[in-house]
């Protein structure tokens, strides 16, 4: 399942990710910073294709 904040869950569902656990550090009250970090992580994600 998705274990993350509500904002992160929405983005990850749109990206097609079904199983993830997220741990955040520091001040996570700034939602835009968290969302930007998630987008950057998704951009750098390597997908293995057969």
In a domain, 48, yes or no: no
SS3 per-residue string spanning the chain: CEECCHHHHHHHHHCCCCCEECCCCCCCCCHHHHHHHHHHHHHCCCCCCC
In a domain, 25, yes or no: yes
User: What is the reported pLDDT for 11?
Assistant: 92
Q: What is the pTM of this model?
A: 0.71
pLDDT per residue as tens digits for the range 16-29? 999 999 888 777 66
In a domain, 20, yes or no: yes
In a domain, 30, yes or no: yes
Number of structural domains in the chain: 1
In a domain, 12, yes or no: yes
In a domain, 28, yes or no: yes
Q: What percent of the chain has pLDDT over 90?
A: 34
The domain in which residue 34 lies consists of: 2-43
User: What is the reported pLDDT for 12?
Assistant: 92
pLDDT per residue as tens digits for the range 31-40? 888 899 999 9
In a domain, 29, yes or no: yes
């Amino acid at each position: 399942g998705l274990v993350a904040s509500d904002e992160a869950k929405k983005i990850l569902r749109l990206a097609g990710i079904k199983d993830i656990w997220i741990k955040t550090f520091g001040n996570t009250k700034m939602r835009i910073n968290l969302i930007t970090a998630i987008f950057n992580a998704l951009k750098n994600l390597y997908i293995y294709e057969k």
